Structure 1
Amino acid sequence: MSAKTFFRHPLGAALAACIATFLWGSAFPFVKWSYEVLDIRPEETGEQILFAGYRFFLASIMIFIFFTLARKNLLFQKKNTIELMRIGFFQTFLQYILFYIGLSHSTGIQGSIIAGSTSFFQMLLAHFIYQNDPMNRKKVMGLVIGFAGVVLVNIQQGTLNIVFGLGEILLLTAMMTSAVGNILAREGSQRMPVSYLTAYQMLFGSTGLVVAGGLMAGWFPFEWNVQATLLLIYLSFLSAAGFILWNNVMKYNKVGNVSMYLFLVPVFGVMLSGLILHEPIHLYVLLGLSFVASGIVIVNRDGRKARSSGS
C-alpha cells in the first residue's frame, strides 16, 4: 500500500492522526518535566528558547537519518529555500518560541487544553483560503463552544476568578501560529515530498531557535544527566514523528475533515499531565476539556459527511 493510499483511507488517516496527537499531547508534561530536571525557571527565556532549538534540531537530524536509510532523496533544492524558510518560521521557530515561554508560565493541563484551539484557527483560515471549506452556523457554534472551554479551564479551583495571564496568552498565540504553519505546510506539500519539507523546515526553524537562545543564554548553559538527555531524545522523536504523520494527513485530506482529530491533543495532554506531573484535574478542567472537544466535533461534523481529498 502506498503512502498516498494509506493516508487517504479514513482508517489510515485516523490512525496517523491519533498517533500524532498522542505524541503532541505528551509534549506538555515532558517539556514541563524537562524544565524541572534542567532547572529552567520561568524568567529564563533564553534557556527555554535554546532548549527548544536543541530539541527541534535533533528532530530534524532524526528525520534526515531515517529517510536517508529508507533511500529517500532529501537533496536540498535552492528553488524551495524561501518557501521552506517561511514554513519553518511559522511551524517551528515562532510557534515554539511562544509555546516554550508560555508553558513556563502555565500548567501542563492549561497548555494542553489551549492547544485544542489550533483546530479552530485552522477552520477560520480554511474558510478564507479554500472555496470548498467555508464557515457555516454549525462551525460558528463550535468555535464559540470551544473557546468557552478555553476560558473555563482558566477558572481557579474554588472560585470564579478567571486567570488568563501571560502564559495563556502566549500559548493561544502559539496555536494561531501553528494553524498558519499547518496551512503553509499543506500548500507546500503539494509541491514537495512531506519528508523533505518537514526535515528542512524543522532544520531552518530550529537553527533560528538555537541562534536566538544561544545569544540570550550562552550556547551550553545546561548541566546534562541521563534523565535530561532521555527527555530531550523523546521530545525530539515525538516532534519528528508527529510532524511527518500530521503533514501527510494534511496533504491527502481536506483541512475540515482532519482538524477534528486535534481535539485529542488536549485529551492526551490533560491525562498525561495529571499522571506524570500530578497536576490536579478539577471540575473546571473537565468542563473546559469537554467544551473544547465538543466544539471541535461540531465544527467538523459536516466535513466528515462529505469526506474527500483536498485539492
Structure 2
Amino acid sequence: MGSSILTNKGIVWVLILLITVIWGYAWVFMKAALDFMGPFTFSAFRFGTGAVTLLLFVWILRAGKPPRHMWKHLVVVGMLQTAIVFTFVMYGMQFVNAGKSSVLLYSMPLWSSIFAVKLLGEKITPGKVAGLAMGMLGLVTILGWDIFFVKDLSVIFGEVLIVAAAFSWAASNTYYRLKLEGMTQLQVSAYQMLFGTIGILAATIVAEWGEPIQLTGASIFYILFTGVLASALCFTVWFVLLSMIDMVTATLSTLLVPVFGLFFGWWILGEELTGSILAGSALVIAGIVVAQIFGREKSESGG
C-alpha cells in the first residue's frame, strides 16, 4: 500500500515538473512568434487551437455543456483569464524580455491574496502581510530599476501591461471562486477559452487586420506547442493533478514556471539576467512562498 502511494506521488511530481518546464519553455516560443505575426494574431491562433482541442476533450469524455445560467459567468472568466491576460502579455512582450515577462505575470498569487481578503472574506495574517510586502518589493525592484535607471518608456509600458494581466488573472480566479465552483474544471477551461478566444479575435480584427502573417514551419510549431501542448493538454492534466494535491502545493509548484522562463530566456534567447531582475524575481517568489505557507498555517491555527 505504502509503495503504491509513493509511486503515485512520484508520478504526480514528475507530471508537475514536466508541466512547469513546458509552461516555462512556452515563453520562449511566445517571444519568438512575434517575428512572424502580430501579438493578437498569435494569441488568436494559439487559443483558437487550444479551445478546439479542449472542446474535443469535453466531447470525448462526455463532460457535457455547462448549465445555461453559467454561460454569462464563463464569458466573464474568458474575458479576464484568456482575452485580457494574453492580449496584454503578448503586446507587452514586444518590449519586455520573455523571462522578465514570466516573473511579472506570475506575480498573480500576490493579487489573488488581496482579492481573497477583500472579496472572499479570507483572514489577513502576519504571514500573508509579510509575503505580500516581499512580493510587492520584488515588483518594485524590477519595475523601479527600469523606471529610474533604464528610462525606456516602451519597456515600462510593456511591464505595466503584464502586471495588469496578472491582476486580471487574479480577478478571474476570484470570480471563479464566487460564481463557478461546482462546475467541472474541464468545462470551465474549455468554455472560458472559447469565449476568451472570441474576445481575442475581436481585438485582432480591430488592431491587426491586414497585417502580414508568416505561417512557416517554425511559426506553426509555436502555435501548436503553445495552443495544444502548453494550453489544452497541460491545463487538462493540471486540473487532474489539482484533485490529488493541496492548493498551497499547487500554487508553490507554479513558481517553477517563471524560474524556467528566466532560465530558458537566458539560455535560448540570450536575455540578460541583471541583478535587479534576479533580486526582484527572488523577492516575488519568496513572497508568494511566505504568504502561502505561513499565511495558511496561522489562519488555520487561529480558525
TM-score, normalising length from structure 2?
0.83
Identify the residue that residue 191 of structure 2 maps to in structure 1.
200
Structural RMSD (CA) = 3.2
Are positions 1:226 and 2:217 aligned together? yes
- Give the drift of 1:155: 6.2
8 Å contact from structure 1 (residues 19, 242) kept in 2: no
Are positions 1:128 and 2:137 aligned together? no
Identify the residue that residue 24 of structure 1 maps to in structure 2.
23
CA distance 1:253–1:135, shift in 2 (3 Å): farther
Are positions 1:137 and 2:126 aligned together? yes
Q: Does 215-224 or 164-173 show the bigger shift?
A: 215-224
Partners of 2:14 and 2:164 lie apart in 1 by 28
- Give the drift of 1:149: 1.8
8 Å contact from structure 1 (residues 186, 247) kept in 2: no
| Aligned AA (1:32) | K
8 Å contact from structure 2 (residues 127, 295) kept in 1: no
Partners of 2:116 and 2:55 lie apart in 1 by 31
8 Å contact from structure 2 (residues 89, 161) kept in 1: yes
1:182-232 residue CA offsets vs partner (Å, 9 max, x unmatched): 233345552211111111110011012112202332267312111110011
Partners of 1:14 and 1:179 lie apart in 2 by 25
User: Helix, strand or coil: the match of 2:73?
Assistant: helix
8 Å contact from structure 1 (residues 117, 175) kept in 2: yes
Q: How does 1:1-311 map to 2 (within 5 A)?
A: 18-36=17-35, 38=36, 40=37, 47-69=38-60, 71-75=61-65, 77-131=67-121, 133-154=122-143, 161=149, 163=151, 165-187=156-178, 189-218=180-209, 221-237=212-228, 238-247=230-239, 258-302=250-294, 305=297
| Aligned AA (1:263) | L
CA distance 1:255–1:299, shift in 2 (3 Å): same
* More helix, by proportion: 2
8 Å contact from structure 1 (residues 64, 74) kept in 2: no
- Give the drift of 1:181: 1.4
1:127-181 residue CA offsets vs partner (Å, 9 max, x unmatched): 23334x4221221111121122223334669x97265610010000000001111
- Give the drift of 1:35: 0.9
- Give the drift of 1:19: 4.6
| Aligned AA (2:205) | G
CA distance 1:165–1:274, shift in 2 (3 Å): same
1:214-257 residue CA offsets vs partner (Å, 9 max, x unmatched): 23322673121111100110010201134334555667877656
Q: Does 159-168 or 189-198 show the bigger shift?
A: 159-168
CA distance 1:136–1:105, shift in 2 (3 Å): same
CA distance 1:263–1:79, shift in 2 (3 Å): same
CA distance 1:72–1:141, shift in 2 (3 Å): same
8 Å contact from structure 1 (residues 20, 241) kept in 2: no
Partners of 1:190 and 1:156 lie apart in 2 by 40
Identical aligned residues as a percent: 22
Count matched residues.
290
8 Å contact from structure 1 (residues 145, 295) kept in 2: yes
CA distance 1:138–1:31, shift in 2 (3 Å): same
User: Helix, strand or coil: the match of 2:117?
Assistant: helix
1:30-85 residue CA offsets vs partner (Å, 9 max, x unmatched): 1111112x0x4xxxxxx32122111111101111223433x323335433211111
CA distance 1:304–1:11, shift in 2 (3 Å): farther
| Aligned AA (2:124) | M
